[in-house]
Amino acid sequence: MPTFFTTIYHWFAGLFFSKHAEISVVGLQASGKTSFVNVLGSGQWSEDVVPTVAFNLRRVRKGNVTLRIWDVAGQPKFRSMWERYCNGVDAIVFVVDSSDKEKFDTARFELHGLISHPHLGGVPLLVLGNKSDVDGHATVEELIAALHLTKIKNRPVSCYSCSMRNSHNLDIIIQWLSERGH
């Protein structure tokens, strides 16, 4: 059981050593952005997630890093908002439904359109191939090829396969996000 002094110590340590990162989560509708933010924030997985209207802002603490996460809607009418919510962030997370290969061309078009904005140059990009629990999902190599990720030269790019349903690769994603803290 923590003593009074260890509690005070952790409180002080949190004050002086805490870091912050601002993250924007974008991607086509139903790729699993809100599920990702929910699982990250509270470990809560649900089949029934309401499609996001506009955006949600969520604050998530991981270790000594506080993440301010913009979960932006993915339906076509909301995609023009992505650029605004990516402005000034420490990282962009682009979520793809890796089991829905018919949407890869649209995902590539939207991703490259977004990162072509000059003021977003240099912002680290994390591409998540979500729904790896679904049979026939694309591998990381297939996603890298389909989304032309090797053509992106003006920023660090990472790509992981993951599943919000079974938390596959959640630990390395949290690690990646925490490293954006400053």
Ligand X SMILES: Nc1nc2c(ncn2[C@@H]2O[C@H](COP(=O)(O)OP(=O)(O)OP(=O)(O)O)[C@@H](O)[C@H]2O)c(=O)[nH]1
Closest approach, Cβ 44 to ligand X, in A, equals 11
Among 21, 23, 33, 90, binds ligand X (CB under 6 A): 33
Q: 132 a known binding residue? A: yes
169 forms part of the interface with ligand X (CB under 6 A): no
73 forms part of the interface with ligand X (CB under 6 A): yes
Distance CA 70, CA 122 (A): 19
Nearer to Mg ion, 37 or 140 (CB): 37
Burial bucket for residue 36 (CB in 10 Å: 0-12, 13-18, 19+) = buried
Which residue number places its CB atom closest to ligand X? 74
Distance CA 65, CA 36 (A): 18
Nearer to ligand X, 98 or 149 (CB): 98
CA distance to 3, 28, 144, 182, per residue, from 96 (Å)? 46, 7, 11, 27
30 forms part of the interface with ligand X (CB under 6 A): yes
Residues that bind Mg ion (CB under 5 A): 33-34, 52
Number of residues that bind ligand X (CB under 6 A): 22
Angle (deg, nearest 10), helices 33-42 and 170-178? 80
